[in-house]
Structure 1
Amino acid sequence: MSINSACLELLKPFEFTYDSKRVSLPLGAQRLLAFLALNSDGTHRTALAEELWPDCTPFRAAANLRSALCQARRIRAVNVVDIVGPRLLLSCSINVDLHRVWESGRQIMAGLDPLPVEWDELIAGLSRELLPGWAEDWLIVERERWDQMRVYALESLGQQFQTAGQYLPALQAALAAMAVDPMRETAHRIVIEVHIAEGNIASAVKRYQDYRSFLERELKVAPSRQMTQLVQEMIPIRSE
């Protein structure tokens, strides 16, 4: 990455940097850049104003958009927003952390060969939330999309490391996936399989029992037959 680059961070509290220096932006400009980063094809001005300021009149929302656009375009030496007719787009010169990590997730699910040596950085990127602390309605679906992407990528990464016999990164990836969605069984099963492969039968059984208790407490359901058989093959699980 060039040192004279503009970077937009969304997988943490919002931050915009240029030439490695943090640029302070008003909230309106922050929301504008974040929205455009999440809609790479661009957005019509009218729709954009309505999304960002849904409680305002169309006239007021349009005025707010003009103000935010002016604030964003005051950043010196870098083009931040492109205007193509009635549509606004985030400039392709802006490095967005979400875009980088999303592409890494796609590559993981396509199969990594060889597996990354710096796996901890990869897992850390996929573990981050999208704009934590923001309460905008338009972020609800985007957060769900991001959570689905990262949990599948983390599970895939865990399975690939497990197959390769690299158990620590397999466990770390699976535990990160569990933190995103503790209900999903896949990551719990990866952890159990790793414990079994390492000969840690007691750890495998405890993980199964903890997950079974969690499902019973939260949803009144039991783990799948596949998961139960996985542990029963090693040691009988007493029914409660």
Structure 2
Amino acid sequence: MVLLRISLFGKFRVCRDERPVPGIDAGKVQQLFSYLLLHRDRPHAREKLASLFWDSTTTAQSKKHLRQTLWQLQSSLDEAHSAQVIHVEPEWVQVNTTDDFWLDVALFEQTFLLAQGTAGRELSADDAQKLRQATQLYQGNLLEGWYHDWCLYERERFLHMYLGMLDKLMGYSEARRAYEDGIRYGQMILRYDLARERTHRRLIRLFYQAGNRTEALRQFDRCEAALSRELGVRPARGTLVLNEQIRADTLAADDPILMVLADDEDGLNAGINPEPTGLPEAISRLRQMRATLTLLQQQVDSCLEACRQALHE
């Protein structure tokens, strides 16, 4: 069976054998199919779908439009795919989730959930590779050019996931001193959120760690300009302190604490659920805090030992 490929990132596309499936060009057909795909985990009442997509018509007219649109969608998919993609009942409609088709947002979200709760520096090489592959699926914002309320919410949700994945990869790269990779991920984030201060702060640090103090200072200037232009605010105190340390050349570029503090900012969870949503996530957060405290304690012990040795010399 030839795999049906459906893409919702960027431009809406449904392809078979790398060719667009005919008959899905109408706007309402694409909108209805996209909505069902995004909410594929449950059946949808036909009456609700009719009122959602044809709210300016009478109930009878909206049901007629839905019936015609479903027929057009099913006919096109049936010709392109041997299995039934849309399951239609007298009162309910749902995407057949057991069907064998490729959907970019499904793979993307699955990878996001697998990485949730794991700090960037703690990712395995395999996990990091999966995140890289998932970010490559993001060929633009969800259903670009559409401005329906249901679409705007989902677009924002997936954008947060995308930025969170890139945050994770920044942390992973910094922990392994792959500074150029970390810088590239940070720049990708700023293409979508230019006033994201924590990303500017991490880029400042990454440039400095890579030995490019000049570019680190320029990154602070870019951060200051973006915050002023888009939000009308000054950089936070932590960003100002970091800039002053770099100007004075007093920041320890390879300090492991920098990596721990950096990972505290890499918010894959922060994009969607800022607070723990259950016991497993709470346990994961506490373990991360314990690891941070352990590293800080080791650093303090090392400094104390150095001071003792200096006193005895």
**TM-score, normalization: structure 2?**
0.69
User: Within 5 A, what are the aligned runs for 1:43-82?
Assistant: 43-74=44-75, 75=77, 76=79, 77-82=82-87
- Give the Cα separation in 1 of the matches to 2:56 and 2:13: 26
Q: In 2, are the aligned partners of 1:37 and 1:90 still within 8 Å (CA)?
A: yes
Percent identical among aligned pairs is 22
User: Within 5 A, what are the aligned runs for 1:177-196?
Assistant: 177-196=189-208
Query: How big is the shift at 1:141?
Result: 1.0
Query: How big is the shift at 1:235?
Result: 1.1
* Shift in alpha-carbon separation, 1:68–1:59, aligned structure 2, 3 A: same
- Give the Cα separation in 2 of the matches to 1:180 and 1:230: 24
Residue identity opposite 2:67 in structure 1: R
Query: How big is the shift at 1:86?
Result: 2.5
- Give the Cα separation in 1 of the matches to 2:178 and 2:111: 19
Residue identity opposite 2:102 in structure 1: N
Query: How big is the shift at 1:134?
Result: 1.8
**TM-score, normalization: structure 1?**
0.88
Q: In 1, are the aligned partners of 2:135 and 2:162 still within 8 Å (CA)?
A: no
- Give the Cα separation in 2 of the matches to 1:236 and 1:222: 21
Residue identity opposite 1:8 in structure 2: I
Partner of 2:186: 174
Partner of 1:32: 32
Partner of 1:8: 6
Deviations 1:57-78 (A, max 9, x none): 2222111111111111112223
- Give the Cα separation in 1 of the matches to 2:57 and 2:184: 45
- Give the Cα separation in 2 of the matches to 1:188 and 1:218: 14
Instruction: Give the 3-state SS of the residue equivalent to 2:84 in structure 1.
Output: coil
User: Within 5 A, what are the aligned runs for 1:47-196?
Assistant: 47-74=48-75, 75=77, 76=79, 77-83=82-88, 86-92=91-97, 93=99, 94-111=101-118, 112-114=123-125, 116=128, 121-126=133-138, 128-196=140-208
Greater per-residue helix proportion: 2
- Give the Cα separation in 1 of the matches to 2:209 and 2:173: 12
Query: How big is the shift at 1:119?
Result: 6.9
Deviations 1:99-153 (A, max 9, x none): 1112223334444311545876443324621011123232111111112221122
Aligned length: 235
Structure 1 residue ranges, 4+ long, deviating more than 6 angstroms after superposition: none
Query: How big is the shift at 1:17?
Result: 1.6
How much is the aligned-residue C-alpha RMSD, in angstroms? 2.2
Instruction: Give the 3-state SS of the residue equivalent to 1:73 in structure 2.
Output: helix
Instruction: Give the 3-state SS of the residue equivalent to 1:131 in structure 2.
Output: coil
* Shift in alpha-carbon separation, 1:20–1:218, aligned structure 2, 3 A: closer
Deviations 1:71-90 (A, max 9, x none): 11112223121135632111
